[in-house]
Structure formats: structure tokens, C-alpha cells
Chain A
Amino acid sequence: MSLNVAVIGYGYGGRVFHAGPVARTDGLRLAAIVSSRAGEIARDHPGVAVVADPGAVFDDPAIDLIAISTPNVTHFPLCAAALAAGKHVVVDKPFSVNSGQARELKRRATAAGRLLTVFHNFRWYADFLALQTMIADGTLGDIHYFESHFDRFTPEVPDAWREQPGPGAGTWWDLGPHLIDQALLLFGRPSAIWCEQTIQRPGGGATDFFHAMLTYENARVVLTSCFLAPEQELRFVVHGAKASLTKYGIDTRDGADPRPGTLHFADGTSRRAPQGVADDRAFFAAVRDAILGRGPQPVTLDEAIAVMDVLEAGDKSAAERREVGLCWTPSMSR
């Protein structure tokens, strides 16, 4: 008996990160896709229903889980409608376009008794899994510096909603959530953020460069992205008491990491870091288990709301050109 899944949106994210893995995950059945791209979907997923209107999958009693991969401003209304229809929901990052919406969705999911989670799939990337292992087994020692990059070389501004000004637009809201979520998993909640954002590409309408410094008592975390970086492969620079790690290679979402990191030691020697192995079905497998009561929810809403709080503080910091303190309620700080 499989859970029936409907994916809303068949852009790059819907195709590569949602529909693809869902179709390959045991216990999940890709039942429907809401999109206008019927021809493309018929080729990629023959036999899967294609509908133009999300109302059709909300009203379909056979659909158990809705995965939303649409422009950021539509996350809130689509999540709200899916929950109201009694569906479980996965929404792509960012959760929504402000933290008030995120908190409201948490309230509605709790009231509806349905699973709602956010697609922070970078947690299951091979490079991050390997880093977590190296931290847990003491290879790196206590970490006092963590730098996380997501650089690109796309000098022409594409004609896309995320490049237009507006709530939830730009790379801070697009790639920032991944880097923030990973940092919070590793180090907990920072006491402050100091975020620089700008538009570097001619004709750009939304942030395409960010450099965010997160302050911790014993560590500094830097999250950064530049879209005019021909060398776009640097991913992590980590300094620990026992070793430093440098990691190149951006896309490690599935399979064995073809480009493991390098460990650097105080005596000047270096060696290859352990290789991480990823499975791009891991997030949806965890969602399946959580719905069936066989496992915990993979990304909790408090975790996803914390990411939203950091995104907003980063915008405030960039706008006011100063560090912004983050006040966490006691139950939320680690």
C-alpha cells in the first residue's frame, strides 16, 4: 500500500528534486503533477496524471501527500489550502516569504493533525553527511570556523521570478535557506547575524550576492554566494582544533561524492577526507516513515521557522548595514 503523492510545480525543482525522487521511493506513488507542461511530464513520467489546477489534487481523496515546488510567494496559500483539504504537505524552501506566514502554517498543521515539513534536502547531501561524520568522530576537533559557499557563474540574468524584486526573491531566499539550515544543524542558533547583500549583475532585480557572518560564542560561521564566480566549486572551509577541511564540488545530492574534501593538519600535511554517500530519496523516505508513524518528522517546523527568522534578520542586517541580534525563546536555543 503506497502513499499517493501529488507534486505541484514542474520547474527545475519540481522535476529534479520532487517528482524524480518521489517516483523512485518505495512506498510512495507519484500519482499526479500540477503543471502546464503536459508533454514534458508525459515523457518523464508516463501514466502520471497531469492537471492544470491545484484544486483538482486538493479535492482528490486518493491523494495523501502534496509536494509544493512553486514560486515562493505561492507557498503560503498552497500550503494552507492543502492542509485545509486534509493533506500532508512538503513545501520547498523557503518555507514561505515571511516568518509570520511560517508560524501561521505551523499552527494550521497542528490544528489539522497533518504533517507539514520543509524541503531542506541539503541535509542529505554527501558533502554535508561526511562533514557531520568528521565532526562527530572528532576528526576535526572543536570547530571554531565554518565557511559555506554556494557560488555560480551566471552572468546573464535569467527571466525568472526569483530574479525580480519582491518578497522571497533573490539568492538569499533561494540558496540562503540551505546554507542556514545546515549551519543551524551543526552549531545551533547564532546570537547575531551580519549580512551583506547586493546586486552585482547588470540588469539584476534581486540579491545575487550575499556574505553573512553568524556569531556564536565559540565559533564564526560565514555563508556566502556570488553569481559571478567562474571558480564555483568551493563548498566548505572548516577550521577545527585538530584539522581544517576544504571541500570542492557543489552537487553531491545523490551517490558517492566524486570529489571528497581534503583534511589539512598543523604539521603541514594533508590527506583525503572521508567520502560521503548520498541518496536523493532520503528526504521523501523519511517523510513517508513519519506519515506512517515509523519515524520522526525529518525537518521540524521549529527548525524551519528558525531558518525563516535568520533570513529575515539577514534582510534587516543588509538593509540597516549593521549586525542584528537574534533573540531566541529559551525552548528554541540549543
Chain B
Amino acid sequence: MLDAVHVALIGYGLAGRVFHAPLIAATEGLRLAAVVSRRAGEIVAAWPGTRVAADADAVLADPAIDLIVVATPNDSHFDLAARALAAGKHVVIDKPFACTAAEARALSGKASGRILSVFHNRRWDGDFLTLKRLIRQGALGAVAEVESRFDHYRPTVRDRWRERAGPATGIWHDLGSHLLDQAVQLFGLPLAIAADLAARRPGAVTVDYFRVVLRYETLRVVLAGDALAHTAMRFTAHGSGGSFIKYGLDPQEGMLAAGIKPGDAGFGCETALARLVLPDGGERAVAVASGNYRAYYQNVRDALRGVAPLAVTAGEALTVMDLLEAGEQSARCRREVTVRT
């Protein structure tokens, strides 16, 4: 029996509470040893036996802590991660990696000998896994166009850091980082990016709409997010062998928020079917694979133990940061920005 990896989670907002704490707790071989937050009562009630610390220094100085998970507002990712690496800890950062690609690059340079990873959990969305499998199997043939959307209906601007002005706020960073990571997983780096970013809701001061075209040789990948949509279209992928059509967001976030635990029966399972439309016009229903965010932490554990390569590397997360910034530059200059030549 290997010793459990002792994990300290910094931050207990949406990301810490809904995603990281339950996923860490449900991963065999990880132990949620400490949470840094002012919400002591809530944490004690939810995680009896987990220590609550008021500031990060206590866990950074604790030699018993192996892994630090940074799940704080984006503008503190760099500072906390840098201090954790300096203290000799392994580090997981919620996405996006940092506020800027320069910060992310600097962190990557400080990680020698330590694991540094970013929580690109949506690689384990069930619908994404299904699409990836269909593409890898050749079921879609040569892929011509993929549209990946992440829409909501949130007409009212809320006073929270994600919606305030400033670096790395707004849905391009928040949701676009997921869609970019998925696109790069499927197709690699695009040749260029053309991005229309806008703040359209009354009172909005940060991006609440994006539509982005990633240009590959002949393939085009469109990434879109809209805070004013009443629909939940998710994936449309057209290829010479068929079109994959999927509605609705992966259910894991909703299940975690509702207190369903990873590993519970039905966790990550989607009853809605996707569609595969065939070139002859016929179609068949496609069962959506089970989503599995716990696989992210199982991989971090295995990488720490040296028995598996790290799934989400700092280099891959840095690529997402570069693409987020290239998108911002494109939107500002109103022209396509070259990514690779």
C-alpha cells in the first residue's frame, strides 16, 4: 500500500468546492489534507477531518503536504503557484494557467523536478471523449468543420471576479480555455486564429460573447460562447464520413454541484444521445461515453508516483494561454493572428 499523496487545496469558491475538493476526496491515493479558505464552517461540515487554514503560508510551510491545488481567482494563480513550487510542492492550477502567457511561461521555468499541471478537466467530458473516439476511429472521415459551443443564458451581469474588468476575466478565458484545449487535443496547433470577442450585456465590462475561427489546412474549427443563448448546442462536427451532433453540456459539473460523488452509480453518465448523420442522409443514435473528471486526478497521482506520464502538461497549458492571448490580439486588431508557419 503506497502512502497517500497529501493535498492542500487553496480556494473554496466554485472551482474548489464543486470540482477540486470532491474529486480529490474521491481519488484513491489522494488525501484532502487541508483547505485554505475563510469558509471554515462550510468546509468542516463538508470535509470532517480536513484541516482548514486561513492563509496559504501554513500549508506551503507544512512538510507533510505534497501537492498544492490552486483554485483561486485567476489573478492570484501566478503568485501562489510560484510560492508553492519554491516550497518544493507539486502544483495543480485551475484553468486558466495564469493571467498571461508570460506568467505561465515563468511558472513552467520554475517547475524543475516537480509536477506542474493545469486542470483542463473537460478533456474528460463524455461528449468530448465520444467525439475524439469517433475521429480517431475514422468514423467521421476527413473532418471539414467542427463547431464547439459553450452557451448559457445569464442576462444579468453579476458582481463576481469572473465578470469584472481585468486580465483573464470573462468567458473567453473562463470557457474558451476549455474549448481551445479540446481543439488542440483533437487537431494540434492551428495555423492561425481569428477572434471576435464582445461584451454585449447591459453593464458588461468583460467578454460575454466570443466566436473564434481556428484555421487549419482545410479544416476550420469554430469556438463559440454566448451568455445570451437559450439553447445548449455543444458539438457539430462535419466530415466526409458523417456529422456528429451533440446537444447539452456534460453533466458532471451539475452532478458535482448537486452533491453526487464521483464513483457514485451513474456519475458522469448522460442519458441523452448524440446523433451521427451519415453521408446517405441516414442517421444513428450514438451513446455518449461516461465523463470522468476523476481521471484527471488519478493521472496526477500516477504521475507523482512515476508510473504514468502527466496527462495535462505545463507545455500544453501554455499553448492554451498563447492561444487565448492570440485571440485577444486578433479581436483587438480585427485581423487573423498567425499561430504557426
Known: A196-B220, A198-B220, A213-B211. A228 touches B238 (CB 8 A): yes
Known interface pairs A218-B200, A228-B144; A194-B228 also in contact (CB < 8 Å): no
CB pair A192 B243 closer than 8 Å: no
Closest to A243 in B: B230
Question: Which residues from chain B contact A220 at a C-beta distance below 8 Å?
Answer: 196, 198, 209, 211
Q: Are the CB atoms of A231 and B145 closer together than 8 Å?
A: no
B325 CB–A CB distance under 8 Å: no
A215 is an interface residue with CB less than 8 A from chain B: yes
* Cα A228 to Cα B220 with chains together (Å): 12
Q: How far is the CA of A222 from the CA of B212 in the complex (A)?
A: 12
Chain B residue numbers with a CB within 8 Å of A229 are 144-145, 238, 243
With a CB–CB cut-off of 8 A, which chain B residues contact A244? 229-231
A184 within 8 A of B: no
Q: Are B196 and A213 in contact (CB under 8 A)?
A: yes
B 251-300 contacts with A by CB, 8 A: 275, 277-279, 281
Task: Identify the closest chain A residue to B154 (Cβ).
Answer: A266
Among A196, A222, A230, A323, the one with the most B-chain Cβ atoms within 10 Å of its Cβ is A230
- In the complex, chain A residues whose CB is within 8 Å of the CB of B241: 230
Does B228 lie within 8 Å of A192, measured CB to CB? no
B178 → chain A, closest Cβ, in Å?
21
Known: A228-B238, A265-B230, A322-B336. A241 touches B211 (CB 8 A): no
Which of A145, A213, A234 is the one whose CB lies under 8 Å from B229?
Answer: A145
From the candidates A226, A237, A265, A321, name the one contacting B145 in the complex (CB within 8 A).
A226
Query: Contacts A211-B213, A321-B192; is A228 near B231 (CB within 8 Å)?
Result: no
A→B interface (CB under 8 Å): 144-145, 151, 153, 155, 192, 194, 196, 198-200, 209, 211, 213, 215, 218, 220, 222, 226, 228-231, 234, 237, 239, 241, 243-244, 246, 264-266, 320-323
Chain A residues, CB < 8 A from B200 = 144, 218
What are the 6 A-B residue pairs with the smallest beta carbon separation, nearest first?
A322-B335, A231-B243, A244-B230, A228-B144, A323-B334, A231-B277
Residues in B whose Cβ lies below 8 Å from that of A323: 334-335
Q: Are A211 and B220 within 8 A (Cβ)?
A: yes
Say if the beta carbon of B127 comes within 8 Å of chain A: no
Contacts of B187 in A (CB 8 A): none
Contacts A231-B236, A239-B226, A246-B231: A321 and B194 contacting too (C-beta < 8 A)?
Answer: yes
Contact of A209 among B194, B220, B239 (CB under 8 A): B220
Contact A266 to B230, CB < 8 A, known contacts A194-B194, A218-B200? yes
Write out the residue numbers on chain A whose beta carbons fall within 8 Å of the beta carbon of B233.
237, 246
Asked whether A264 lies within 8 Å of B334 as measured between CB atoms, the reply is no
Query: Beta-carbon contacts of B176-219 to A below 8 Å, as 1s and 0s?
Result: 00000000000000001010101010000000010101010011
Q: B155 interface residue, CB < 8 Å from A?
A: yes
B229 to chain A, nearest CB (A): 5
Cβ of B240 under 8 Å from chain A = yes
Given A155-B240, A239-B229: A200 touches B218 (CB 8 Å cut-off) = yes
B residues near A196, Cβ cutoff 8 Å: 194, 213, 215, 220
Complexed CA–CA distance, A104 and B218 (Å): 37
- For B219, the chain A residues whose CB sits under 8 A away are 200
Collect the chain B residues with CB atoms within 8 Å of residue A228's CB: 142, 144-145, 238-240
Instruction: Assess whether B73 is interfacial by the CB under 8 Å rule.
Output: no
Q: How far is the CB of A282 from chain B (nearest CB, A)?
A: 29
Q: Shortest distance in angstroms between A78's beta carbon and chain B's nearest beta carbon?
A: 35
B→A interface (CB under 8 Å): 142, 144-145, 153, 155, 192, 194, 196, 198, 200, 209, 211, 213, 215, 218-220, 222, 226, 228-231, 233, 236, 238-243, 245, 275, 277-279, 281, 333-336
Complex Cα gap A18–B70 (Å): 66
Closest Cβ of chain A to B313, distance in Å, is 31
A224 to chain B, nearest CB (A): 8
Bound CA span A153–B218, Å: 16
Q: In the bound complex, do residue A241 and residue B279 qualify as a contact, i.e. CB atoms below 8 Å apart?
A: no
Query: Assuming the A-B contacts A145-B226, A196-B213, A244-B229, are A230 and B218 also in contact, with contact meaning beta carbons closer than 8 angstroms in the complex?
Result: no
**Is the pair B144, A200 in contact by a Cβ cutoff of 8 Å?**
yes
Min CB gap B136→A, angstroms: 19
Are A239 and B218 also in contact (CB < 8 A) when A226-B238, A228-B238, A323-B335 are?
Answer: no
Pick the most buried of A194, A200, A220, A231: most chain B CB atoms within 10 A of its CB: A231
Contacts A155-B240, A200-B144, A213-B196 given: A230-B231 contact, CB under 8 Å? no
Residues of B close to A243: CB separation below 8 A: 230
B153 touches A266 (CB 8 A): yes
**What B residues does A226 contact at CB under 8 A?**
144-145, 238
Closest-CB distance, A334 to chain B (whole angstroms): 20
- Distance between B81 CB and nearest chain A CB, rounded to angstroms: 36
B211 closest partner in A (C-beta)? A213
By a CB distance below 8 angstroms, the chain B residues around A234 are: 236
Q: Point out the residues of chain B lying under 8 angstroms from A215, CB to CB.
A: 196
Chain A, residue nearest B239 (CB): A228
Q: How far is the CA of A213 from the CA of B195 in the complex (A)?
A: 10
Distance, CA A266 to CA B230, complexed state (A): 5
CB <8 Å contact, B279 and A231:
no
A144 to B229, CA, bound (A): 9
Query: Are A198 and B218 interface neighbours, CB within 8 A?
Result: yes
User: Which residue of chain B has its CB nearest to the CB of A322?
Assistant: B335
Given the contacts A200-B144, A220-B198, A321-B194, A230 and B277 also touching, CB distance less than 8 Å? yes
28 CB < 8 A contacts A-B = A144-B228, A145-B226, A196-B220, A199-B218, A209-B144, A211-B220, A215-B196, A220-B211, A228-B142, A228-B238, A229-B145, A229-B238, A230-B243, A230-B277, A231-B238, A231-B245, A231-B275, A237-B231, A239-B230, A241-B228, A244-B230, A244-B231, A246-B231, A265-B230, A266-B153, A266-B230, A322-B335, A323-B334
CB-CB < 8 A to A237: which residues of B? 231, 233
